[in-house]
Chains A and B, each alone.
Chain A
Amino acid sequence: MYKYNDFDTAFLAERNAQFRAQVERRIDGSLTEDEFKPLRLMNGLYLQLHAYMLRVAIPYGTLNSDQMRALALLAEKWDKGYGHFTTRQNIQYNWPKLRDVPDMLDALAEVGLHAIQTSGNTIRNVTSDHFAAAAKDELTDPRPYAELIRQWSTDHPEFQFLGRKFKIAITGSSTDRAVTRAHDIGLRMVERDGVPGFEVIVGGGLGRTPLIGKVIRDYLPQADLLPYLESVLAVYNLLGRRDNKYKARIKITVLENGIDTIREMVEERFEERRRAFDGTDQLLLEEIKAHFTPPKLRGGNVETYLAAYDADPVFRSWADTNLAAHRDDNHAIVTISIKAHGQTPGDATAAQMRAMADLAERFGYNELRISHEQNVILPHVHKSDLPALHAALKDHGLATANVGLISDIIACPGMDYCALATARSIPVAQEIASRFDELKLEHDVGHLQIKISGCINACGHHHVGHIGILGLDRAGVENYQITLGGDATETAAIGTRTGPGFAYDEIVPAVERLITAYLSLRDSAEETFLQTYRRVGMDPFKAALYPEAQKKVA
């Protein structure tokens, strides 16, 4: 993985020193809050409902063990012993004190981490496939490109004051695990005549106006990545609306001007900008790529794995749900669920973070990933190590066998923490997970993604959940709208609203009715919730959700 050079290290040290001085000046009264706020936001520091929140970037979701231990240190020393992994491959600390934040940033810098551009109207943390360099279906590791984009976009003078925040996601696989179609720019590696390049998608996004992105270039040579991105950003900077913050995202620019007009303008600028790139970026990319050489995978047989799989039903259940196919048949990709039933989705304690760091060193070639689904991944584990890994995970409450199942819920912090939220998300997620754990239906229901947001900004990706739940404030009472049929993958779709929302104490029973309806509607145990929805449509689910309305019609 990428290792900071002298320039990177000096840059972070200088930046942190600047922020330390800014904090001191705010505390001694030299800076007003109006003056200080943009400075703290540039360094990932928000003020939320109950306290400050520090958002730390985990570029393209990749960490090594030392970095994970540093995240644990921050949780333990300056917070309340835990951190919250988000859908943007960040980690958030919910209780830092203003005076401590410079020390926290210095501790992060020691392991090559930072909080720069995790806030503000700028290019945010570049996200990527959490199975990068391990997935069987991958064409090319997308992370060197993501690192190139990170370096290019950090403090880029032209793009520090955009109309709104700007999010880029990149994947090297045909299977989209990075939700590329719901980003301002999505990059998907494709091949033409055997040469990998990028399909470029623009204008996707969730929030107030959820839209699936449009393909602006079906093939972009790898060498043209930066000048092309610059051209898209330049057109957005020019045309993007600034009169209304809700209409300031590039998705609105694309919607209002049309993809053909945007494409034409981007191509025009691209011709100019490409000439300004003298190849330095490609030399840099080659240097970056050298840091992403895959680990030397060890050989050996997998008999201990096969024996445990046959003998231990608990291990088998975990293996069936939490493992994914690795490019090397003797290895597996392990998703560690941090969604134990009844716990807060995405939260990990300092002890759990340290345990995962240790296990990554012991079994996983010292690599960890954070997924946008708020779980932790060990991308390379030899199958013979899986029984021992599973046993160790159990000791730390990290062996929940629910990846991709109903309790593997994405949930934003909601009104329990977020100043923007209009309702709570976390307790809804906790109660759904607990309810289906009690019913022992989870494995029978199979693959199902529930995504919950506590406001219209959709940090919980509810629009692309198979079942999406949006928490709103209706006349001073929490109310939850349901959408069905959303899809976050390469067949991305925005879910359709079912009808009136549900009160807080009605939402879990409503989800239960949906699941009961699905179990009676599916044509076999292999047909997933999404497949059934696509086959039968909304009506039978609506009938299950609103039985009283059905009676009135009858």
Chain B
Amino acid sequence: MPRPFTPKIITANDLLEGDVIYFTDTNSWSRELTEAELIEDEAEAQLRLLEAEKDALRVVGIYLTDAKSGDNGPEPTHFREDFRRTGPSNYRHGKQEAAANV
């Protein structure tokens, strides 16, 4: 029996900065996970991934990853994505340090 589909977001890294970015429901990229589109349907997830990949020249390493709904938008379900949304634990660098524009 196939495993039930778990909600997903689309994430990647920005080509110029390398920064972690998220695909939104307006077909743009945001540096904030809370602004990512939470995709609840499996078929829709594949279609949205295709849409995101149209931007492959501006972004790097696009993939779908698990997320869940939270009070302020999508939240990570795995510690790896949690680290990606914040930054390293030894310095307040990365997203902890500054928000920037794509």
Contact = CB atoms under 8 A, between A and B. Distances in A.
Interface of A: 26-27, 29, 32-33, 47-52, 80, 94-99, 344, 347, 415-417, 424, 426-427, 430, 473, 476-478
A99 B17 CA distance: 9
Given A26-B15, A33-B60, A97-B16, A49 B83 contact: yes
Given A27-B16, A29-B57, A99-B16, A49 B84 contact: yes
A358 to B, nearest CB: 25
Contacts of A476: 77-79
Contact of A416 (B13, B60, B90): B90
A95 B96 CA distance: 14
A98 B58 CA distance: 12
Given A47-B13, A47-B61, A426-B90, A415 B18 contact: no
B80 interface: yes
B88 interface: yes
A95 to B, nearest CB: 7
A52 B94 CA distance: 11
8 contacts: A29-B57, A49-B80, A51-B13, A415-B83, A424-B83, A426-B88, A427-B89, A473-B80
B87 A50 contact: yes
A10 to B, nearest CB: 30
B65 to A, nearest CB: 12
B94 A50 contact: yes
Contact of B60 (A47, A80, A473, A478): A47
Contacts of A430: 90
Interface string B40-77: 00000000000000001100110000000000000001
B20 interface: yes
Given A476-B78, A476-B79, A50 B88 contact: yes
A80 B93 contact: yes
B62 to A, nearest CB: 10
B35 interface: no
A465 B79 CA distance: 27
A26 B15 CA distance: 9
A95 B95 CA distance: 12
B91 interface: yes
Contacts of B16: 27, 97-99
B44 to A, nearest CB: 24
A33 B94 contact: no
A424 B60 CA distance: 24
B32 interface: no
Contact of A50 (B15, B61, B78, B84): B84
